[in-house]
Amino acid sequence: MTILLVAEHDNAALKGSTLNTLTAARQIGGEIDLVVVGSGCGAVAEAAAKAEGVTRVRVVDAAHYADQTVENLAVCLAQLAGSYSHVLLPATSFGKNLGPRLAALLDVAQVSDITAVVSADTYERPIYAGNAMATVRSADPVQVVTVRPSAFALAATGAGNATVEAAPAGPDLGVTRLVTRELSTSKRPELGAARVVVAGGRALGSKEQFEGLLEPLADKLNAAIGASRAAVDAGYAANDTQVGQTGKAVAPELYIAIGISGAIQHLAGMKDSKVIVAINKDPDAVIFQVADYGLEGDLFEIVPQLTAALG
């Protein structure tokens, strides 16, 4: 049994989601090959070789992988995947985009967004927006599996000494071209990996109030900022801050939900947080049902008081 783990990276650094996915791979067992497909991505391969539990790093380095267009990546990986029992990818935007294309090329079913490994062919995954957990077994010869990063700890790095080998590139299909990439930059911790998340909902009322109230609190707690979909749709917060079924799944040590009702689609992305604090003026808000601590009242009064009390 040999697993092919697909690295998520930006040609310069390995993304943490790869190390979460490596932990899932180690739970499945067997040898683990980590594949880095990119352009000028030697530093990523060197870093990947130090991750504990990786046997071999396979590097596919070609100019047409510079922008990581998934059409090209999927064909390249399909060429490599046939000799593996599993192909694992993180269930991030990257893996969600790539995994189904790869599974289709291999003519197998993808097992999506696993949160636990039961055995080498059996996994747990949330269904119905996290309202139920399904245990699924795959009978496919190559199991294409996406892994929810927040459900698995980061694998250790530093002590690994995998070999690094070149692997053949696939064709440049030329069917897509990256025109522009707009990245929001932030000094805050990355939402998916933050220990503390301060999240705001529609009740914040405007972008100015969202930022004016949440950022000072997040600064005090060294927290990432999250948002409900309603807050994102209203333009109060950036798209990549959305938490939930159609946003990110997070499981920080502390999640502070401010003016968020607790719709099932939002809970799907945050209810595995260790401690949940909810601030809401409606005593019947669903968020209080999952909260460890509830503050009932007007957020425009409570949040500044909380921020001031943190010194």
Residues that bind ligand FAD (CB under 6 A): 201-203, 228-231, 242-247, 259-261, 263, 265-266, 269, 279-282, 285, 298-300
Of 170 and 244, which CB lies nearer to ligand FAD in the complex structure? 244
Q: Please report how close the Cβ of residue 183 comes to ligand FAD at its closest, in angstroms.
A: 21
Of 53 and 247, which CB lies nearer to ligand FAD in the complex structure? 247
Half-sphere exposure of residue 164: CA atoms within 13 angstroms, side-chain side: 18
Q: Please report how close the Cβ of residue 31 comes to ligand FAD at its closest, in angstroms.
A: 36
Q: Are 78 and 136 in contact (CB under 8 A)?
A: no
Give the residue nearest to ligand FAD (CB).
Answer: 244
Of 81 and 237, which CB lies nearer to ligand FAD in the complex structure? 237
Reduce the DSSP state of residue 18 to 3 states and report it: helix
Of 53 and 262, which CB lies nearer to ligand FAD in the complex structure? 262
Q: Please report how close the Cβ of residue 218 comes to ligand FAD at its closest, in angstroms.
A: 17
Distance CA 58, CA 73 (A): 14
Q: How far is CA 290 from the centre of its chain?
A: 22
Q: Are 89 and 16 in contact (CB under 8 A)?
A: no
Tokens (6 digits) for 229: 């979909």
Residue type, 230: A
Could you tell me which of 53, 251, 248, 52 has the C-alpha nearest to residue 152?
251
Distance CA 231, CA 238 (A): 9
Of 5 and 302, which CB lies nearer to ligand FAD in the complex structure? 302
Q: Please report how close the Cβ of residue 285 comes to ligand FAD at its closest, in angstroms.
A: 4
Of 93 and 176, which CB lies nearer to ligand FAD in the complex structure? 93
Of 7 and 299, which CB lies nearer to ligand FAD in the complex structure? 299
Compute CA distances 205 → 226, 250, 259, 300, whole Å.
15, 24, 10, 10
Tokens (6 digits) for 43: 């530093």
Q: Please report how close the Cβ of residue 163 comes to ligand FAD at its closest, in angstroms.
A: 41
Q: Please report how close the Cβ of residue 191 comes to ligand FAD at its closest, in angstroms.
A: 13
Tokens (6 digits) for 279: 């601030």
CB atoms within 10 A of CB 26: 18
End-to-end CA distance of the chain: 54
Q: Please report how close the Cβ of residue 237 comes to ligand FAD at its closest, in angstroms.
A: 10
Q: Please report how close the Cβ of residue 125 comes to ligand FAD at its closest, in angstroms.
A: 17
Of 66 and 286, which CB lies nearer to ligand FAD in the complex structure? 286
Which residue is listed with tokens 């380095």? 61
Distance CA 238, CA 192 (A): 15
Distance CA 48, CA 160 (A): 9
Which residue is listed with tokens 């950022």? 215
Cβ neighbourhood burial of 88 (10 Å; 0-12, 13-18, 19+):
buried
